[in-house]
Structure 1
Amino acid sequence: MSKRKGLGRGLDALFSDVPSAEDRLQTLPVASIRPGRYQPRQEIDEAALEDLAASIRAQGVIQPVVVREVGVSEYELIAGERRWRASQRAGLAEIPAVVKAVPDEAVLAMGLIENIQRQALNPIEEARGFRRLIEEFGLTHEAVAAAVGRSRSAVSNMLRLLSLPEPVQDLLHDGQLEMGHARALLSLPVIDQLAFARRIVEEGWSVREVERRIKGVSEGAAPTVVRPAPVHTADPDVARLAETLSEALGARVAIRAGKTGRGRLTIDYSSLEELDGLLEKLLEKSMR
């Protein structure tokens, strides 16, 4: 994609070719507006949306949405998706809107800014939004930082979250992990991050507790969680079984299968506390 004029010079530069006098406040049919392609928020709280719809039924839409024209009497949302969806739910036929003429990269930046200011994005959504600005529009980390009002280091640290394994990102996205947990996990080898993240969720460890345990690992102590070991067999079925056991127990599992059908199953642990936890899990499963 070719870079548009203004890239890399911050949000003000993105709007430099469009005088603010061209902005138009209009009343538009709700049905003529479609969701934005560059909306960074992927989920909207249903209860909060219903509360907003009730408020709109009583008082109307106080703050206009922001849109851009994409066709004859067709508009795309830039900011205000919750207000637009709540207006639909409230049964409104029309909605006040500010119509802007802005390029794609400015649309994404504006959507990010609105949601960041409203604290409506989780860390993964925010990081993915930053990545889109970089990959789709060629912005530098400095330009993204200027566009969204963050420091360059803050943007870089958010982007590092996307190097975590996808299941760990999902835990952070769903609120099962805090930002502090994720920052601590980044200091571990990638192969250890998922097992450690699952232990955080299972044990309810605080950020401080996680930092303490990871510090112990970095100083040479035995890791609190261990990675699955290679399975000493060429049988893919046995290999899958070992992997399943390792995932279920959160511990290193090795299976040595003999030619006669006999073999050895080994489960590693790094402390008596972890051994107790493994025994509890095994007993729970045996009682089912």
Structure 2
Amino acid sequence: MVKKRGLNRGLEALLQGAGSLDVDLNQASGESTDELQHLPVEWLQRGVYQPRRDLDPEALEELAASVRQHGIMQPIVVRSIGVNRYEIIAGERRWRAAQLAELPNVPALVKDVPDESAIAMALIENIQREDLNAMEEAMALHRLQDEFSLTQQQVADAVGKSRSAIANLLRLLQLQEPVRLMLERGDLEMGHARSLLALEADDQQQAAREVVAKGLSVRQTEELVRRSQQPKAEKAKPSGDADVLRLQEHLSDSLGTKVAIRQNAKGKGQLTIAYASLDQLDGILLRLDAQHDKY
């Protein structure tokens, strides 16, 4: 693997001379230092730094249908990595659609770039142009930041986004893995995920499951998070009222055993009479009967 680059190498310097990735067949000319070729589809392979993990089969079929009818209008950007072997820098979806359409060859713009430039180009191109989900984009941004030791502002400048947008996406990496998978599958939206970040691990997963099960909106999720963060009501403590304490002491003396009275703020409570044996219990019951007969 390529070693991590520092800022002294300069991300901008790596991209200089690489040229634009946004080239169509009509723009490609002999004046360019890049070479436009028609390469057999089997000579191409997936880029190592492709952030997308899954391609929508339905969308890919639609693209394949378009390719069958119109061909590939924008060349795939590649670099040579050996004899008859090319790594895709940009255009994996077009390459896969060409395979589904059973095209023997694809137009490819062959760039002569080192590993560092290929990494930067692939990450930035995919972040800017591919239809990544929020988690895929967050992982690609983190990889770009990590590979080149960039600040969030430098990442933002490189991909044409605001620093706050970059910060919000990178925070998604703090989600618990089950919640990240829900976001990646599309069960949760980014707004849901940002709200859930305020919760601890167990509460986060439980709330995420509730959001999905009930189909909660982002606003409803925010309310759910607020409720989850509220401190739980404390249990009622034994009453310290002087009259209750005197009554408790009187009953203990009368029955000859330990008596506890617990009372909450609403006046409801429990009277507990302790006994150590059945004989003692019989004695307590006799005393209670005697007290009852007095009244």
Query: TM-score scaled to structure 1, two decimals?
Result: 0.69
Question: Does the alignment pair 1:197 with 2:208?
Answer: yes
User: Measured at CA, do residues 213 and 222 of structure 1 come closer, stay the same or move farther in structure 2, by a change above 3 Å?
Assistant: farther
Q: What is the aligned partner in structure 2 of residue 163 from structure 1? A: 174
Equivalent pair of 1:9/1:143 in contact (CA under 8 Å): no
Equivalent pair of 2:7/2:150 in contact (CA under 8 Å): no
Displacement of 1:147 in angstroms is: 1.8
User: Measured at CA, do residues 7 and 166 of structure 1 come closer, stay the same or move farther in structure 2, by a change above 3 Å?
Assistant: farther
User: Measured at CA, do residues 168 and 5 of structure 1 come closer, stay the same or move farther in structure 2, by a change above 3 Å?
Assistant: closer
Q: Which runs of 5+ in 1 are unaligned?
A: 224-288
Displacement of 1:196 in angstroms is: 0.8
Q: Could you tell me how far apart the structure 2 residues matched to 1:144 and 1:34 are?
A: 27
Displacement of 1:5 in angstroms is: 7.7
Code of the residue aligned with 1:14 in structure 2: it is L
User: Measured at CA, do residues 22 and 78 of structure 1 come closer, stay the same or move farther in structure 2, by a change above 3 Å?
Assistant: same
Q: Could you tell me how far apart the structure 2 residues matched to 1:207 and 1:8 are?
A: 42
Q: CA offsets, 1:124-169, max 9 Å, x none?
A: 1111111212333433323322221112222122111111110000
Equivalent pair of 1:6/1:16 in contact (CA under 8 Å): no
Equivalent pair of 1:109/1:147 in contact (CA under 8 Å): no
Question: Does the alignment pair 1:36 with 2:47?
Answer: yes
Q: What is the aligned partner in structure 1 of residue 15 from structure 2? A: 15
Query: TM-score scaled to structure 2, two decimals?
Result: 0.67
Q: Could you tell me how far apart the structure 2 residues matched to 1:202 and 1:47 are?
A: 25
Code of the residue aligned with 1:31 in structure 2: it is E
Displacement of 1:201 in angstroms is: 0.8
Helix, strand or coil: the match of 1:22? coil
Q: What is the aligned partner in structure 2 of residue 177 from structure 1? A: 188
1:50 to 45, 51, 61: 61
1:207 to 211, 218, 231: 218
Q: What is the aligned partner in structure 2 of residue 251 from structure 1? A: none
Q: What is the aligned partner in structure 2 of residue 154 from structure 1? A: 165
Q: What is the aligned partner in structure 2 of residue 127 from structure 1? A: 138
* Higher Rg: 2
Matches within 5 A, 1:269-284: none
Displacement of 1:93 in angstroms is: 1.4
User: Measured at CA, do residues 22 and 49 of structure 1 come closer, stay the same or move farther in structure 2, by a change above 3 Å?
Assistant: same
Equivalent pair of 2:138/2:170 in contact (CA under 8 Å): yes
Code of the residue aligned with 2:14 in structure 1: it is L
Q: Could you tell me how far apart the structure 2 residues matched to 1:5 and 1:190 are?
A: 34
Displacement of 1:95 in angstroms is: 0.9
Q: Could you tell me how far apart the structure 1 residues matched to 2:77 and 2:59 are?
A: 20
Displacement of 1:4 in angstroms is: 4.5
Displacement of 1:189 in angstroms is: 2.1
Question: Does the alignment pair 1:101 with 2:112?
Answer: yes
Identity of aligned residues (%): 52
Q: CA offsets, 1:197-227, max 9 Å, x none?
A: 1111111111001112223444x3559xxxx
Equivalent pair of 2:51/2:140 in contact (CA under 8 Å): yes
Code of the residue aligned with 1:215 in structure 2: it is R
Equivalent pair of 1:8/1:142 in contact (CA under 8 Å): no
User: Measured at CA, do residues 16 and 113 of structure 1 come closer, stay the same or move farther in structure 2, by a change above 3 Å?
Assistant: closer
Code of the residue aligned with 1:68 in structure 2: it is R
Helix, strand or coil: the match of 2:58? helix
User: Measured at CA, do residues 158 and 19 of structure 1 come closer, stay the same or move farther in structure 2, by a change above 3 Å?
Assistant: closer
Displacement of 1:2 in angstroms is: 4.1
Q: Could you tell me how far apart the structure 1 residues matched to 2:159 and 2:112 are?
A: 19
Q: CA RMSD in A?
A: 2.5
Code of the residue aligned with 2:78 in structure 1: it is V
Code of the residue aligned with 2:15 in structure 1: it is F
Q: Could you tell me how far apart the structure 2 residues matched to 1:106 and 1:140 are?
A: 19
Aligned length: 221
User: Measured at CA, do residues 181 and 174 of structure 1 come closer, stay the same or move farther in structure 2, by a change above 3 Å?
Assistant: same
Q: Could you tell me how far apart the structure 1 residues matched to 2:93 and 2:108 are?
A: 13
Q: Which runs of 5+ in 2 are unaligned?
A: 21-31, 234-295
Helix, strand or coil: the match of 2:47? coil
